[in-house]
Amino acid sequence: MLAVAVLFAMTISAQTYYVSKDTGSNRGDGSKEKPYKNLQKAIDMVPEGATIYVAQGNYFGMLDAGNININKCVKIYGGYNTDFTQRDILKYRTLVQPTAESNGTAKGNGTMIITCNNPSGEMVIDGLLFDRGNSISYNVRGEGKPEGVESPMMNPIGVGGIGGPNLDQQSVLTTETREIQLQNPNCKTMIIRNCAFVNAPNYGVGGQFHCDLTIDNCIFINCRMIACDVWGGDGQKYMTVHFTNNTVLFAWSRLRDFDDMGYGFRYNNGTHSYVDHCIIGCCIYAGLDRARVDYKDKEAQKVATTTNNMFFCNRRADAALAGGGKFLMINVDQFEDAEPLTEIDGCVSLKDPKVFNGKLNEAYLKGFINATYSETANYDPNSANNQFRAALGLNKQGTINSKVSMFANRYPFEDALKLFGAVKGYGAQLPK
């Protein structure tokens, strides 16, 4: 019996590994005494099903590549001090915060790309703080910057501009679109918990998945197009996503005219979605997107709940439904009549924004509320240039100048973390 107990203890120990940016070495064995230095190295070396504890530090790939690839089911827990005796994800920060220099070496469409394939496995990402704010490209002329906001407006993917922590680096290029990219991971369960997704170029968490997915007690701040955009990867049955106790603020749009995208959570095809006890606010289009429709038989089975959620300051509506021309836009007080929302209990509209005093960046909020887009056309059919073009049988030309007051500007990372526990009973609470 003693030999069996010792063997069991050795097996358990062998499944637990440690990572420390400050004290580790990639030539170590991953033990507490000799931790790995790099999270990617640990993922590459540990066996399927292993647990990885990660100390404070900034981790964004081998040779600072800019992304982390996970191709096996592992459980990753961040927020430890360097000797792994204490865990506090806000004090001992395990960051995934790529630099502008990493944009040229990153591969794929995500800052963290998950492709695990083990139908009986469990994946956990707990206590990692994602932030792309230092590696995004911002307008080099300083356009779209309200007073008190940290940066000018964000440039679209693939457009160069200024960037870096102090916005003094030139020729920065915005690259990957998602902070966590689900590349059809096939496992039994996946849990993403106690994480921050800040300043995402397009999406916080997105992609196709093949598992039961839980996203719980996370903050999504300034995710440009959609905070959470996930869909089932099985054409025969629905996948399930529980989106619970999350704080979602400031979703902008695909383009700076504010006319496309800008959602907190999207109810996608092939997915039963349960949204509960979240704060969903300051979305340029709508807090919830329920406009995607499956084919008839599957649509009749789809579950799309919104329960005990708090909504505020969503520019067009709290939810977008299919129909009514482009979309049917509704607010909390109309949820009762929205049949595509299969359960709607306990949702409220925030009445007093003072609950966010000292937690929400005031200049950013004011800039969002006052955000405007305008166009001016300059067309003179009788100009010398157009007369000459007409003589040659060419179309006449004009110009359109557009202006936006604010668009996906960088949100201060330190302020974003204040939103853990900002409102008791709604949204992300202080991680335990």
Residue 7: pLDDT band (50, 70, 90) is very low
Is 10 a residue whose pLDDT tops 60? no
The rounded distance, in Å, linking the Cα atoms of 386 and 397 is 7
Q: Do the beta carbons of residue 354 and residue 314 sit within 8 Å?
A: no
pLDDT of residue 336: 94
Is 12 a residue whose pLDDT tops 60? no
Amino acid, res. 334: Q
* Length of the chain in terms of residues written: 432
- Pairwise pLDDT comparison (260 vs 324), residue with the higher score: 260
- Pairing relationship of beta strands 328-330 and 304-307 according to DSSP bridges: unpaired
- Among 222, 229, 211, residue whose Cα is nearest residue 290: 229
The rounded distance, in Å, linking the Cα atoms of 21 and 73 is 22
The rounded distance, in Å, linking the Cα atoms of 152 and 256 is 13
- Cβ-based burial of 342 (10 A; exposed 0-12, middle 13-18, buried ≥19): middle
Residue 9: pLDDT band (50, 70, 90) is very low
The rounded distance, in Å, linking the Cα atoms of 210 and 171 is 38
Residue 1: pLDDT band (50, 70, 90) is very low
Task: State the SS3 of the chain.
Answer: CHHHHHHHHHHHHHCEEEECCCCCCCCCCCCCCCCECCHHHHHHHCCCCCEEEEECEECCCHHHCCCEEECCCCEEEEEECCCCCCECCCCCCEEECCCHHHHHCCCCCEEEEECCEEEEEEEEEECCEEECCCCCCECCCCCCCCCCCCCCCECCCCCEEEECCCCCEEEEECCCCEEEEEEEEEEEEEEEECCEEEEECCEEEEEEEEEEEEEECCEEEEECCEEEEEEECCCCCCEEEEEECCEEEEECCCCCCCCCCCEEEECCCCEEEEEECCEEEEECCEEEEECCCCCHHHHHHCCEEEECCEEECCCCEEEEECCCCCCEEECHHHHHHCCCCCECCCCEECCCHHHHCCCCCHHHHHHHHCCCEEEEEECCCCCHHHHHHHHCCCCCCCEEEEEECCCCCCCCHHHHHCCCCCCCCCCCCCCC
Is 102 a residue whose pLDDT tops 70? yes
pLDDT of residue 420: 98
The rounded distance, in Å, linking the Cα atoms of 201 and 223 is 7
* pLDDT, tens digit, 9 for 90 and up, residues 32-41: 999 999 999 9
Token duo for residue 413: 């990372």
Mean pLDDT (the chain, rounded) = 91
Is 80 a residue whose pLDDT tops 70? yes
Q: Do the beta carbons of residue 214 and residue 187 sit within 8 Å?
A: no
pLDDT of residue 8: 38
Is 78 a residue whose pLDDT tops 80? yes
The rounded distance, in Å, linking the Cα atoms of 21 and 222 is 27
Residue 375: pLDDT band (50, 70, 90) is low
Q: Kindly state the average pLDDT of the residues 114-136.
A: 97
Whole-model pTM: value is 0.92
* pLDDT, tens digit, 9 for 90 and up, residues 232-286: 988 788 999 999 999 999 999 998 899 889 999 999 999 999 999 999 999 999 9
Residue 329 phi/psi, 5-degree rounding, is -100, 130
Q: Kindly state the average pLDDT of the residues 297-312.
A: 92
Give the whole-number percent of the chain exceeding pLDDT 70.
90
Q: Do the beta carbons of residue 360 and residue 419 sit within 8 Å?
A: yes
Residue 382: pLDDT band (50, 70, 90) is confident
Residue 223 phi/psi, 5-degree rounding, is -95, 115
Is 385 a residue whose pLDDT tops 80? no
pLDDT of residue 6: 38
- The set of residues, in sequence order, having a beta carbon less than 8 Å from that of 405 and lying 6+ positions away, is 144, 146, 367, 370, 371, 372, 373
Task: Identify the residue whose tokens are 């000018």.
Answer: 152
Phi-psi region of 273 (alpha: psi -120 to 50; beta: other; left: phi over 0): beta
Residue 43 phi/psi, 5-degree rounding, is -60, -40
